[in-house]
Amino acid sequence: MADDLVLRISNVSKSFGAIQALRGVDFELRRGEVHAIAGENGAGKSTLMNIIDGILRPDSGEIFLNGAPVEITSPARAQELGIGFVHQEIALCSDVTVAENIFMAEINASRKWFMDYAALHARARETLAQLSPIEPTLLVRDLSISSQQLVEIAKALTLDCRILILDEPTAALTEHEAQLLFGIMRRLAAGGISIIYISHRMVEIFDNCDRVTVFRDGRHIATREVAEITPDFVVNSMVGRVLGKLYPPKRDAAAPPPAPLLSVAGLTDGKRFRDVGFTLGRGEILGLAGLIGAGRSEIVKGICGLHPVTAGRLELDGTELPIRSYRHSIDNGLVYLSEDRKGDGVFIDLPIAANVSALDLRQVSSRWGTVDAEKEAEQAGRLGDRLGLKRGSIDDPVSSLSGGNQQKVALAKMLSVEPRVIFLDEPTRGVDVGAKAEIHRILRELANNGVGIVVVSSELPELIGLCDRVLVVREGLLNGEVAGDALTEENIIRLASFTERTVRPEGESLRPEGENLH
């Protein structure tokens, strides 16, 4: 059994200033297993992975690889030791092509003097084909976040590694891509590669992993065979208490249809989507589903004035609302939560408080137009607590937070204003189970108070559990709508993937199948 241990972490601690991220953690990884790590946001999962990859140095404790103690001083060293790492935060060179990003480590290690671009592109295409056909000659900056996530994964797959760490790889992926990834993971594991898999989604853990380790507050809580436990066990040991229902009760389906709040008609941007029309009811939570690149993000950004549209009409509360700029939208009560947290969601170097207040500084300023630091801190503290933000000082920069907690800051920013319509693009990306339930509860509460909410999510259980109604987007067109009992994964997937590349004559009815599903 002992020689089956590929990696052993013994009594590792790590602190950032006053924050103790890891407290004497132990961890064992066997050959050929898929080992899940679960834990609340800020539990120390990513910190441990960063230590294994040599990005961070532990304050104390030891790491054993195949029984021998090792010192991992840099990512380069980790690579030599056969450790591959898909980061929670996407870290790609945006000015460089997809192919070069994928093979960066290999190019770095290569003894060849010159690049062989033809071979590089061919191999990149081959690797990507396992996941999604992304053109390897594109620049990474031109890819959507989810495509970038796929590139990040492809990058790790090319490494000749014995240990593969995946830190929330599916956070930005849709079901389809996620399933492809799981297939690959199982194949690799069968080939003797050990995989550490971090996720907040219990389904993924229970469907694909062999063992699971739970962390809480920087401590190792438990390690169990997945087959021997239930999701509830994991959740309870994560949170340290029994969690209630994951999803709040929906609108009463029997109730009369809600009064229309926002209606969209004929929205077209000339590139990514066309002729989008739907109506959002007051107090309704509407889902937008679709595959990667279906254009969901662009549609909601288009409504908010963050993406140029060529045609389209908005009506808010019965009066026409011209699409001008995002400022204009905010002033009219429309807000958007970006899917690209790091790129445009938060100010990573600014304090948490300044992030939360950014949307409307008037709320935290004095009569003289100066920011009132106390009001600002109070606002951030209040909203942060509501979302279960795990943080040091409210004045620490957002960069000092764990991924999930950064997402909570972005959410707190949205909630700081009192919007009439909220568009959320992957709102619970990387958020732990407990906080997720809390976010869902807050959203439902807002809806019950008359706010209209549109949720774009790639996580089907979330859409199904949270939304009253789900619109499915395929290749820039609304392809159908599901609600009530028809709100099932199968139906959504069917509408989202339909037959590949069917060309639909312009003007034809957009949602025949959706109608059938009612």
Partner 1 sequence: MTELRLQDAGTARSQPRTGVARRLARQREAGLVLILVLLFVAMSFASPYFLTWENMRAMTMAFAVEGIVVVGMTILLISGGIDLSVGSVVAFAMVLAGWLFLAGIDPWTASALAILACAGIGLAMGLCVTRIGLHHFIVSLAFMVIARGACLLLTGGRPIGLFTLPPEFKFIGQGSIGVIPFVIVFFVIFVLAFDFLLRRSTAFRKVFYTGSNPKAAAYSGIRTQRVVVATTVLCSTLAGVAGIIYMARFGSAQPTFGVGMELNVIAAAVIGGASLTGGQGTILGAILGAILLSVVSSSLALLDVSVYWQDIIRGSILLAAVSFDLYLHRRKSR
Ligand X SMILES: Nc1ncnc2c1ncn2[C@@H]1O[C@H](COP(=O)(O)OP(=O)(O)OP(=O)(O)O)[C@@H](O)[C@H]1O
Residues 303-362 within binding reach of Mg ion (CB under 5 A): 339
- As a three-state string, the secondary structure of 170-206 is CCCCCHHHHHHHHHHHHHHHHCCCEEEEECCCHHHHH
Residue 458 found at the interface with Mg ion (CB under 5 A): no
Per-residue binding string, partner 1, 88-107, x by CB under 8 A, is ---xxxxxxx--xx--xx-x
Look at residue 298 and give the partner it binds from partner 1, ligand X, Mg ion, none, a contact being a CB closer than 5 to 8 Å depending on partner kind. ligand X
- As a three-state string, the secondary structure of 324-346 is CCHHHHHHCCEEEECCCHHHHHC
3-state secondary structure of 97: strand
Residue 419 found at the interface with Mg ion (CB under 5 A): no
Alpha-carbon span 14 to 98, nearest angstrom: 34
Closer to ligand X by CB, 298 or 462: give it: 298
Per-residue binding string, partner 1, 496-515, x by CB under 8 A, is --------------------
Look at residue 278 and give the partner it binds from ligand X, Mg ion, partner 1, none, a contact being a CB closer than 5 to 8 Å depending on partner kind. none
Residue 297 found at the interface with Mg ion (CB under 5 A): yes
Q: Which residues contact 184 (CB under 8 A, 6 or more apart)?
A: 130, 131, 157
In the complex, what is the shortest distance from the CB of residue 67 to ligand X, in angstroms, rounded to a whole number? 26
Look at residue 405 and give the partner it binds from Mg ion, partner 1, ligand X, none, a contact being a CB closer than 5 to 8 Å depending on partner kind. ligand X
Alpha-carbon span 179 to 203, nearest angstrom: 12
Residue 139 found at the interface with partner 1 (CB under 8 A): yes
In the complex, what is the shortest distance from the CB of residue 191 to ligand X, in angstroms, rounded to a whole number? 27
Q: Give the residues lining the site for ligand X (CB under 6 A).
A: 16, 19, 21, 39, 41-47, 88, 142-144, 146-147, 174, 290, 292-298, 339, 390, 400-405, 430, 432, 458
Task: Please report the beta strands in 217-284, taking only residues with DSSP state E, as ranges in sequence order.
Answer: 219-225, 260-268, 276-281
Q: Which of 180, 359, 442, 510 binds partner 1 (CB under 8 A)?
A: 359
Residue 491 found at the interface with Mg ion (CB under 5 A): no
User: CA 226, 230, 233: angle at the middle one, nearest 5?
Assistant: 105
Closer to Mg ion by CB, 121 or 429: give it: 429
Nearest to 149 by CA among 193, 188, 117, 101: 101
Q: Which two tokens stand for residue 300?
A: 């909601």
What is the side-by-side strand order in the sheet with 285-290?
A: 334-337, 421-425, 452-456, 285-290, 469-474, 477-483
In the complex, what is the shortest distance from the CB of residue 126 to partner 1, in angstroms, rounded to a whole number? 15
Closer to ligand X by CB, 54 or 430: give it: 430
Closer to partner 1 by CB, 60 or 74: give it: 74
In the complex, what is the shortest distance from the CB of residue 402 to ligand X, in angstroms, rounded to a whole number? 3
Alpha-carbon span 371 to 362, nearest angstrom: 8
The per-residue b/e assignment along 48-65, b for 16 or more CB within 10 angstroms, e otherwise, is bbbbbbbbbebeebebeb
Closer to ligand X by CB, 405 or 491: give it: 405
Q: Which of 362, 367, 502, 508 binds partner 1 (CB under 8 A)?
A: 362
Nearest to 443 by CA among 471, 423, 472: 423
Instruction: Find the binding residues for Mg ion in span 221-260 (CB under 5 A).
Output: none
Closer to ligand X by CB, 174 or 357: give it: 174
- Piece of the chain touching partner 1 by CB under 8 A; list 108-116, 223-231, 252-260, 273-281: 108-116
Closer to ligand X by CB, 283 or 293: give it: 293
For residue 460, which phi and psi values (nearest 5 degrees)? -60, -40
Look at residue 488 and give the partner it binds from Mg ion, partner 1, ligand X, none, a contact being a CB closer than 5 to 8 Å depending on partner kind. none
Sign of dihedral through CA atoms 390, 392, 394, 399? Answer: negative
Closer to ligand X by CB, 323 or 364: give it: 323
Binding site for Mg ion (CB under 5 A): 46, 88, 297, 339, 402-403
